[in-house]
Amino acid sequence: MASPLIIAVPKGRILAEALPLLARAGVHPEAAFSDEDSRALRFATHAPGIELIRVRAFDVATFVAHGAAQLGIVGSDVLAEFAYSELYAPVDLAIGHCRLSVAEPAEMAARDDPRGWSHVRVATKYPHVTAEHFARRGVQAECVKLNGAMELAPTLGLAPRIVDLVSSGRTLAENGLVEVERIMDVTSRLVVNRAAMKTRPEVVPLVEAFRRAVADASKPLPFRGGVGVGDAGAGLGETPPTPNPSLRGRGEATS
């Protein structure tokens, strides 16, 4: 019996946005997936032979690149930072819209001109993307690697600027920071392990199911006898679980 296909999905805001796409592709997680008291990380689905694992957003790419999962949902920011050659990103899922930007204290921005920068010190969890961006501009970048609480860096003297994901900009504003330069726009992508794409024949139909799910995202999700109709798992005879409202908390992007 073939081992199950494993799809790695990120925790947080992006997962809440991804659940409708998973449903349209016929992948409905088991009830335990929506149990906020559960500490499980691996879940069955209503689609035979497909399982989900729920991991940190930055770890999705690693799980898929190393073959621990065959598919995953990950931001284009993470793909750019790690640049795994083992990953193929065939579908832009058109969710998780945000941007990777440079921000600094408002009082600094009032007298600053990014066009005049020759050297910058920034706090970020994207040191490779940041360094490459500034190198293209001819600016020397000193990156201080942080995994969170980036907004504290300027106020505590760790670095005068930060590079982080920005959505609405509210978190920046609440910490006295303003966005001064955009590095890249970000959306979530479906990624596939390249070896699995060649050796697991069931991967291609699932990728196409996600592609159709994105194309149909503006249409109401049809129901047949209480069961969501998806491309890969319709008619499984079980009612898909209701997405957990607790998944709609803050995700990876600065709000």
Tens of pLDDT, residue by residue over 189-228, are: 999 999 999 999 999 999 999 999 999 886 665 554 444 4
For 115, counting Cβ atoms within 10 Å of its Cβ (0-12 exposed, 13-18 middle, 19+ buried), the class is exposed
pLDDT tens digits, 17-69 = 999 999 999 999 999 998 878 889 999 999 999 999 999 999 999 999 999 99
Is residue 158's pLDDT more than 90? yes
> Looking at per-residue confidence, does 164 or 216 come out higher?
164
Please, are residues 44 and 58 in contact by the beta-carbon 8 Å criterion?
no
Element spanning 122, H or E? strand 119-124
Q: Which fold has domain 99-184?
A: D-Maltodextrin-Binding Protein; domain 2 (3.40.190)
Give the Cα separation of 175 and 154 in Å (integer): 10
Please give the CATH number for the structural domain made up of 5-96+187-246: 3.40.190.10
Is residue 243's pLDDT more than 50? no
Residue ranges of the chain assigned to CATH 3.40.190.10: 5-96+187-246, 99-184
Q: ∠ at Cα 26 (23, 27), nearest 5°? A: 70
What pLDDT was estimated at residue 38?
Answer: 84
Give the Cα separation of 116 and 183 in Å (integer): 16
**Residue 166 backbone dihedrals phi, psi, to 5 degrees:** -130, 135
Give the helix, strand, coil percentages of the chain, each rounded to 5. Answer: 30, 30, 40
DSSP category for residue 222: P
